[in-house]
């Protein structure tokens, strides 16, 4: 099933804010992926849903031949700019994970840091990840767990946003190990482990100020809500970020799974 209108909207939404401001908070996820991927010189490495390029930059430090792709043109432009600023020759493409523009088996390592999980057609996403991975190649993905802190945040956002189209996959489904096995188990030998990457900040207000201006889906939602509803959404998130009401430093657990696979 095609979700072209939804994906066009996603491309705009994700590129509507400077994601590079909050990408560093995903450092623990990047490290988990890098350790699982075990890439190095001679490896052809594709980072799918690359965002503003931070994981690709780290992958390039291994000596691998790295390429990144993302659905959002603005994110790709930022990744390209940041690569040039770092003196890195990494090509970045605007591409849809449900129809990747690469040949079968063309990559030894395929990664995605909570990126591919947002594509609406999960079966097509799984099929494309498998198709471009070479036999014996490695897959390393991260996905937010539905029962974790990010799951709570997504559910809060969902209560203020229009519902997704019928039959569109939900990103948090990828945080269920059994669901992952149903999607990828036939084509990959899988290992799935659980981790946590807490978001810490000096206060809930500072965390919300950063998140609400740098995370495209939230920024777009706030811009479209009536002022009173936007304020209400902000209050919901402040309570999530500061559940004990301490008014001091905050730490929100962000539980995720690391999906490691070897292509059969």
Query: What is the model's pLDDT at position 206?
Result: 95
Average pLDDT across the chain, whole number:
96
How confident is the model over 113-122, as a mean pLDDT?
98
Longest dimension (CA), the chain: 55
Q: How many domains does the chain have?
A: 1
Q: Are 160 and 221 in contact (CB under 8 A)?
A: yes
For residue 221, tell me if it sits in a domain.
Answer: no
For residue 9, tell me if it sits in a domain.
Answer: yes
Query: What is the model's pLDDT at position 8?
Result: 97
The CATH number linked to 86 is 3.40.50.150
If we measure between CA atoms, which residue out of 111, 103, 127 comes closest to residue 47?
Answer: 111
| Residue 237 pLDDT greater than 80, yes or no | yes
How confident is the model over 31-48, as a mean pLDDT?
98
Query: What is the model's pLDDT at position 158?
Result: 95
For residue 211, tell me if it sits in a domain.
Answer: no
| Residue 1 pLDDT greater than 60, yes or no | no
Structural domain containing residue 190: 4-200+250-263
DSSP string, 109-148: EEEEES-GGG-S-HHHHHHHHHHHEEEEEEEEEEEE-TTS
Instruction: Supply the pTM of this predicted model.
Output: 0.97
Query: What is the model's pLDDT at position 201?
Result: 95
| Residue 2 pLDDT greater than 80, yes or no | no
For residue 109, tell me if it sits in a domain.
Answer: yes
Cα 253–chain centre separation: 17
For residue 243, tell me if it sits in a domain.
Answer: no
| Integer Cα distance of 262 and 133 in angstroms | 9
Query: What is the model's pLDDT at position 242?
Result: 87
Q: How confident is the model at residue 246 (pLDDT cuts 50, 70, 90)?
A: confident
DSSP string, 233-259: HHHHHHHHHTTT--SS-EEE--EEEEE
How confident is the model over 21-39, as a mean pLDDT?
98
Q: Model confidence over 72-93: pLDDT tens digits? A: 999 999 999 999 999 999 999 9
If we measure between CA atoms, which residue out of 170, 190, 169 comes closest to residue 178?
Answer: 190
Helix (H) or strand (E) holding 230, with range, is helix 227-241
Q: Model confidence over 188-205: pLDDT tens digits? A: 999 999 999 999 999 999
Query: What is the model's pLDDT at position 67?
Result: 99
Query: What is the model's pLDDT at position 58?
Result: 98
For residue 194, tell me if it sits in a domain.
Answer: yes
For residue 212, tell me if it sits in a domain.
Answer: no
How confident is the model over 145-168, as a mean pLDDT?
95
Q: Model confidence over 165-196: pLDDT tens digits? A: 989 999 999 999 999 999 999 999 999 999 99
If we measure between CA atoms, which residue out of 33, 21, 22, 19 comes closest to residue 195?
Answer: 33
Query: What is the model's pLDDT at position 56?
Result: 98
Q: How confident is the model at residue 117 (pLDDT cuts 50, 70, 90)?
A: very high
For residue 241, tell me if it sits in a domain.
Answer: no
How confident is the model over 102-113, as a mean pLDDT?
98
Q: Are 254 and 198 in contact (CB under 8 A)?
A: yes
């Amino acid at each position: 099933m095609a979700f072209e209108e939804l994906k066009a909207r996603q491309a705009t939404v994700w590129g509507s804010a400077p994601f590079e401001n909050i990408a560093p908070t995903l450092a623990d996820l990047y490290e988990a992926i890098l350790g699982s991927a075990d890439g190095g010189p001679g490896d052809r490495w594709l980072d799918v849903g690359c965002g503003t390029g931070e994981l690709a930059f780290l992958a390039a430090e291994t000596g691998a031949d790295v390429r990144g792709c993302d659905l959002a043109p603005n994110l790709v432009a930022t990744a390209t700019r940041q690569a040039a600023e770092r003196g890195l020759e990494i090509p970045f493409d605007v591409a849809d994970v449900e129809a990747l523009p690469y040949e079968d088996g063309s990559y030894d390592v395929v990664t995605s840091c909570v990126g591919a999980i947002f594509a609406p057609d999960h079966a097509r996403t799984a099929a494309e990840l498998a198709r471009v991975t070479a036999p014996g190649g490695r897959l390393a993905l991260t996905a937010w767990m539905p029962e974790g802190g990010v799951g709570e945040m997504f559910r809060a956002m969902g209560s203020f946003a229009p519902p997704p189209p019928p039959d569109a996959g939900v990103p948090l489904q990828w945080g269920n190990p059994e669901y992952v096995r149903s999607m990828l188990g036939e084509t990959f030998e899988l290992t799935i482990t659980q981790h946590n990457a807490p978001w810490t900040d000096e206060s809930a207000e500072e965390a919300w100020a950063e998140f609400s201006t740098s995370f495209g889906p939230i920024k777009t939602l706030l811009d479209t809500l009536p002022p009173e509803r936007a304020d209400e959404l902000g209050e919901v998130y402040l309570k999530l970020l500061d559940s004990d009401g301490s008014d001091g430093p905050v730490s929100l657990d962000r539980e995720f799974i690391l999906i490691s696979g070897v292509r059969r």
